[in-house]
Protein backbone atom coordinates (compact mmCIF):
# COMPACT_ATOMS: atom_id res chain seq x y z
CA UNK A 1 0.00 0.00 0.00
CA UNK A 2 1.24 3.48 -0.94
CA UNK A 3 0.81 6.52 1.26
CA UNK A 4 1.09 10.24 0.69
CA UNK A 5 3.30 12.46 2.82
CA UNK A 6 0.87 15.34 3.39
CA UNK A 7 3.22 17.18 5.73
CA UNK A 8 5.65 17.50 2.79
CA UNK A 9 3.02 19.46 0.84
CA UNK A 10 2.55 22.12 3.51
CA UNK A 11 5.67 24.22 2.72
CA UNK A 12 4.80 24.17 -1.00
CA UNK A 13 1.22 25.21 -0.29
CA UNK A 14 2.41 28.09 1.89
CA UNK A 15 4.79 29.34 -0.81
CA UNK A 16 2.06 29.04 -3.42
CA UNK A 17 -0.30 31.07 -1.24
CA UNK A 18 2.37 33.77 -0.77
CA UNK A 19 3.01 33.93 -4.52
CA UNK A 20 -0.70 34.19 -5.28
CA UNK A 21 -1.11 36.95 -2.68
CA UNK A 22 1.70 39.00 -4.27
CA UNK A 23 0.24 38.52 -7.75
CA UNK A 24 -3.18 39.55 -6.46
CA UNK A 25 -1.77 42.74 -4.91
CA UNK A 26 0.03 43.62 -8.16
CA UNK A 27 -3.16 43.08 -10.14
CA UNK A 28 -5.12 45.30 -7.75
CA UNK A 29 -2.54 48.06 -8.24
CA UNK A 30 -2.82 47.66 -12.01
CA UNK A 31 -6.61 47.89 -11.84
CA UNK A 32 -6.41 51.11 -9.79
CA UNK A 33 -3.98 52.62 -12.30
CA UNK A 34 -6.25 51.64 -15.19
CA UNK A 35 -9.28 53.13 -13.43
CA UNK A 36 -7.41 56.42 -12.94
CA UNK A 37 -6.36 56.39 -16.59
CA UNK A 38 -9.92 55.69 -17.68
CA UNK A 39 -11.20 58.60 -15.58
CA UNK A 40 -8.58 60.91 -17.11
CA UNK A 41 -9.49 59.82 -20.62
CA UNK A 42 -13.20 60.31 -19.95
CA UNK A 43 -12.49 63.79 -18.58
CA UNK A 44 -10.50 64.67 -21.71
CA UNK A 45 -13.31 63.40 -23.92
CA UNK A 46 -15.88 65.51 -22.06
CA UNK A 47 -13.63 68.58 -22.27
CA UNK A 48 -13.21 68.06 -26.00
CA UNK A 49 -16.96 67.67 -26.46
CA UNK A 50 -17.53 70.89 -24.55
CA UNK A 51 -14.95 72.73 -26.63
CA UNK A 52 -16.44 71.41 -29.86
CA UNK A 53 -19.87 72.52 -28.73
CA UNK A 54 -18.57 76.03 -28.07
CA UNK A 55 -16.83 76.08 -31.45
CA UNK A 56 -20.02 75.00 -33.23
CA UNK A 57 -22.04 77.65 -31.39
CA UNK A 58 -19.48 80.34 -32.29
CA UNK A 59 -19.48 79.35 -35.96
CA UNK A 60 -23.28 79.52 -36.01
CA UNK A 61 -23.23 83.00 -34.49
CA UNK A 62 -20.62 84.31 -36.92
CA UNK A 63 -22.46 82.86 -39.90
CA UNK A 64 -25.59 84.75 -38.83
CA UNK A 65 -23.69 87.99 -38.48
CA UNK A 66 -22.59 87.91 -42.14
CA UNK A 67 -19.33 89.69 -41.50
CA UNK A 68 -18.01 91.44 -44.60
CA UNK A 69 -14.28 91.72 -45.25
CA UNK A 70 -12.90 95.26 -45.10
CA UNK A 71 -12.70 97.09 -48.42
CA UNK A 72 -9.33 98.16 -49.72
CA UNK A 73 -8.57 101.85 -49.57
CA UNK A 74 -6.11 103.45 -51.92
CA UNK A 75 -4.58 106.71 -50.91
CA UNK A 76 -2.81 108.76 -53.51
CA UNK A 77 -0.18 111.11 -52.27
CA UNK A 78 -0.83 114.81 -52.79
CA UNK A 79 2.00 117.18 -53.56
* Residue 55 domain-assigned (yes or no): yes
Question: Given a cut of 70, is residue 8 above it in pLDDT?
Answer: yes
pTM metric for this prediction: 0.57
Q: What pLDDT is recorded for position 71? A: 57
* Residue 73 domain-assigned (yes or no): no
Question: Containing domain of residue 40, as a range?
Answer: 34-61
- Report which of residues 23 and 74 the model is more confident about: 23
Q: What pLDDT is recorded for position 53? A: 82
Render pLDDT for 33-72 as a digit per residue (tens, 0 to 9): 999 999 999 999 999 988 888 776 666 555 555 555 555 5
* Residue 46 domain-assigned (yes or no): yes
Tell me the backbone φ, ψ of residue 46, rounded to 5 degrees. Answer: -65, -40
Q: Output the CA angle 52-54-60, nearest 5 degrees.
A: 105
* Residue 40 domain-assigned (yes or no): yes
Q: What pLDDT is recorded for position 21? A: 98
User: How many domains would you assign to the chain?
Assistant: 1
Amino acid sequence: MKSVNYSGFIPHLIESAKTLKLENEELKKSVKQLEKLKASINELIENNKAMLGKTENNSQVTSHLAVQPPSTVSIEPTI
